Chain A
């Protein structure tokens, strides 16, 4: 019965929760070793400036101060900038370029918040006081904080090696064929689309604690990728090697992609611990995360779609400018130049694309991964175009989508970017979504809203996404111990998503022992190394490896049991924690068997390799009401049907979809990282100014999962789930608002609204004010 209740596919209580609800989590800042000291950064208050002088004498003399480091100090010590792989080229054929991302600035600062000096002191207060005593003289230079302005002639130059401010550029598809298709098309629509800059905002800010003891550096931090952090530290700090660095990750208070890479701050903390031989801690304040943690999105596009008379999409053409900040990261550029385009044609059978993607340097913080990472931008673009085309042709937007969907018999289907979808029944998801949302009843609901003085709109997004991070192999080690535990060691990383619970369920399927007997160990580079957790990959790669390792353990155990029971291995059966000789009452307990082995444990490794990315998909339908007096938008209904393949933890995946959708609603309606166009100052540096969704937002989701289309490229049949809700929600909500505005008399001009759709933006639109055309104005 236990296997029934706790195995995969069953809603279980998470094993993570009892500790977390009692305040017994172990986040980085909760660990306070004896003798720990505190690091604080002095950050640039200029968006672009030459460092005239950095005077740290007064700070060094302050009570309790142990060290003060400048960029020059780190340079002299041989600390290297964070490298990027120049996977792309500039328009002139030269490799991608960006200024060296140093741990502390040298000579020049290029965005507000860039770390200039680090102070280490005995207490947080002493560090703060000393930081305030540092004198930095800036010679301010002109700055630019949006991609369109940065490409204009005469724009301030962020980095001399890119006088045009272009870090890298890539064009996908067949421009000539697309031009021919557009010329012959019966219908053409075009849109300007802004995917505004976002702050991922996990509730736990970044946190790093580095200690040096016994000739080894141990770095404890809040990260999704422990091994990548180790690699990055070894590459940047002289004297470190893979052998003498250990990265440890405890509880992570949310990641959302923001905690995937090495940050300059991580290097400085590690360097200080090496120098001082004391545990050094840096706990980011929220403002520091707003200023210098990776931002997401920030893509502006001019996009066009060509259709034939029946509504078959012939081609998509887009030119997109990605503001990747001053110190562009490989991740930030790959997301916009490659990952987005991989899914631009989404679930539609569209043969021709012409996508020009340009990564632009500005005086902003670098962009990086944020939940969806490229797919939200691409799906938003195509779903906005679909609605525009439906409006142009006078077609039902769901019907236009249906006419263009890749059909099951076309699987495996290769899209124009060469991505191969293994499976998908998109029309089926659409039909279920329409039923769930009562598509046919919308007209009556709109009338009812109208009777209450409100404008009602309905928006749909049918879409897929790419998952796996192109890191498709995972290894899991099983340790069965004589004292009665099965320990699963994995290099994937928990960050709040409940992956340990899902792994335990999968192991329970095989071992059949009570789940209290199964433990998951993650976040320790001395125990396991790999890609980490990103791109919705953990379950379908790591989970598959759990199953393989568990099954191999049982097979190996049968051999050991055969020896112990003096019976042929072929006669050994395993069930619920016990090996037995078939047809006899002779047997041995799993844990007792382990206790008899060397070191009182059975150790078995298992690897699994997913053959390809998984392609989760769905149909999300949203309805909104708008108060025409204020412009306020309220989400009033949200129905989604989701194909994430086979489900291990029903409760967890529902939480992922709905929590993710609220993040997507946040982008649609309220969130925006804003820099002042003139000064480059960050205007949205607190939760007062950056509007995360609160509890008063929409919660009444209707969420359905269709498990009838298992993924064919991994043994679990699972597809990634972590990002799907976020990707679907943003276009569904915006399409609903545009629908309401169009119906209110704005017609196709309503398509000019840009996120976030705040009350002011919507009110202005209702009064015909959309602001200047996008590519004529600086996008602040």
Chain B
């Protein structure tokens, strides 16, 4: 059980709602105001700072998480909308000390430089591969269209998603 201790929680708004949700496999109860965004809940009370905020207009995709397995921009979802649902953030991908294949491929392909867009990129790619294990290059590019990167020029990001697909499919990377 996590309790609000930082960031988004407010002591001035009496309209706090208690919500139950699952985050990275753990059932949690959290307090949120009606206007609290999912990203604020994650970064603030839940302390999951791997989900980043790179813009204020839902264009950059740095805040992408999985909501019931579907990639969403957590700046565009209210915290209360996550009630009763399953949220996966970048912190929830690695299992038992092993990187998720998408994480592994981003490292192997130099798919990141500053790393700020990376969690959102990885979550978007993870969603894509869960739905479409053998995406074409065009499908990868289309899936990543809502995620901005300023460092890599996307060259190695697309290569990383292709490598992750091969790994997930048990093919030689």
User: Which residues of A are interface residues toward B (Cβ below 8 A)?
Assistant: 13-14, 16-18, 20-25, 27, 29-30, 32, 34, 36, 63-64, 122-126, 201-205, 251-254, 256, 283, 285-287, 495-498, 651-652, 654-655, 658-663, 686-688, 692-697, 699, 701
Contacts and interface: CB of A to CB of B under 8 A. Distances in A.
The 9 closest A-B pairs by CB, nearest first: A23-B50, A496-B114, A662-B153, A253-B116, A20-B115, A23-B90, A687-B59, A30-B49, A286-B55
B13 A253 contact: no
- Residue from A124, A256, A695, A697 having most chain B Cβ neighbours under 10 A: A695
B27 interface: no
A123 B4 CA distance: 13
A107 B114 CA distance: 40
Given A203-B62, A253-B116, 17 more contacts: A18-B107, A22-B50, A23-B48, A23-B49, A123-B8, A203-B116, A203-B148, A204-B52, A204-B114, A251-B115, A253-B54, A658-B152, A659-B152, A661-B153, A662-B153, A687-B148, A694-B144
Interface in B50-94: 50-57, 59-60, 62, 89-91, 93-94
B163 interface: no
- Residue from B12, B51, B119 having most chain A Cβ neighbours under 10 A: B12
B10 interface: yes
A546 B53 CA distance: 35
9 contacts: A23-B49, A23-B119, A32-B47, A205-B54, A253-B116, A497-B113, A659-B155, A663-B153, A687-B148
A34 B5 CA distance: 8
A22 B92 CA distance: 8
A252 B115 CA distance: 9
A655 B156 contact: yes
Contacts of B150: 201-203, 254, 256, 663, 692
B5 to A, nearest CB: 8
B99 interface: yes
Contacts of B122: 21
Contact of B90 (A22, A122, A124, A498): A22
A287 B90 CA distance: 26
B152 A204 contact: no
Contacts of B26: none
A17 B115 contact: yes
Contacts of B44: 32
Contacts of B10: 64, 123, 125-126
B164 to A, nearest CB: 11
B56 A21 contact: no
A22 B148 contact: no
B16 interface: no
A22 B110 contact: no
Nearest to A126: B12
Identify whether the interface residues of A are mostly helix, strand, loop, or mixed: loop
- Residue from A123, A661, A692 having most chain B Cβ neighbours under 10 A: A123
Contacts of A496: 113-116, 151
A285 B53 CA distance: 9
Contact of A22 (B55, B99, B151): B99
B151 A659 contact: yes
A287 B151 contact: no
Contacts of B35: 125
A287 B60 CA distance: 13
Contacts of A18: 99, 107
A127 to B, nearest CB: 11
Contacts of A654: 110
Contacts of B107: 13-14, 17-18, 21
Contacts of B141: 695-696
A694 B141 CA distance: 9
A21 B154 contact: no
B114 A253 contact: yes
- Residue from A18, A63, A125, A202 having most chain B Cβ neighbours under 10 A: A125
Interface string B103-121: 1001110101111111100
- Residue from A285, A655, A663 having most chain B Cβ neighbours under 10 A: A655
Given A13-B107, A23-B51, A25-B115, A686 B59 contact: yes
A124 B7 contact: yes
A695 B144 contact: yes
Interface in B1-33: 5-13, 33
A52 B145 CA distance: 46
B157 interface: yes
A125 B10 CA distance: 8
Given A14-B110, A658-B153, A27 B54 contact: no
A655 B114 contact: no
Nearest to A694: B145
B42 to A, nearest CB: 10
Contacts of A16: 115
B38 interface: no
B113 A659 contact: yes
Nearest to A17: B107
B155 A699 contact: yes
A520 to B, nearest CB: 15
B57 A655 contact: no
A688 B146 CA distance: 11
Nearest to A62: B12
Contacts of A498: 113
B165 interface: no
Contacts of A64: 10-12
- Residue from A25, A203, A654, A692 having most chain B Cβ neighbours under 10 A: A203
B41 interface: no
A275 B35 CA distance: 31
A125 B11 CA distance: 11
A688 B57 contact: yes
A34 B155 CA distance: 41
Contacts of A693: 153-154
Contacts of A694: 144-145, 148, 154
Given A687-B59, A687-B60, A662 B154 contact: yes
A21 B99 contact: yes
Contact of B52 (A27, A126, A660, A661): A27
B158 interface: yes
- Residue from A13, A122, A253 having most chain B Cβ neighbours under 10 A: A253
Given A23-B119, A253-B115, A662-B154, A692 B148 contact: yes
Contacts of A252: 114
B53 to A, nearest CB: 8
A17 B155 contact: no
B114 to A, nearest CB: 3
Nearest to B51: A23
Contacts of A285: 56
Nearest to A23: B50
Given A495-B114, A655-B113, A22 B91 contact: yes
B57 A286 contact: yes
- Residue from B5, B10, B89 having most chain A Cβ neighbours under 10 A: B10
B27 to A, nearest CB: 20
A697 B154 contact: yes
Contacts of B129: none
A491 to B, nearest CB: 19
Contacts of B9: 123
Given A126-B12, A286-B57, A27 B116 contact: yes
Nearest to B104: A21
A17 B113 CA distance: 8
A116 to B, nearest CB: 20
Given A253-B52, A696-B145, A23 B91 contact: yes
A30 B91 CA distance: 14
Nearest to B90: A23
Nearest to B54: A203
B119 A695 contact: no
Nearest to A655: B110
B143 to A, nearest CB: 8
B139 to A, nearest CB: 11
Contacts of B89: 23
Contact of A652 (B90, B110, B114, B145): B110
Contacts of A695: 140-141, 144-145, 147, 149, 154, 157-158
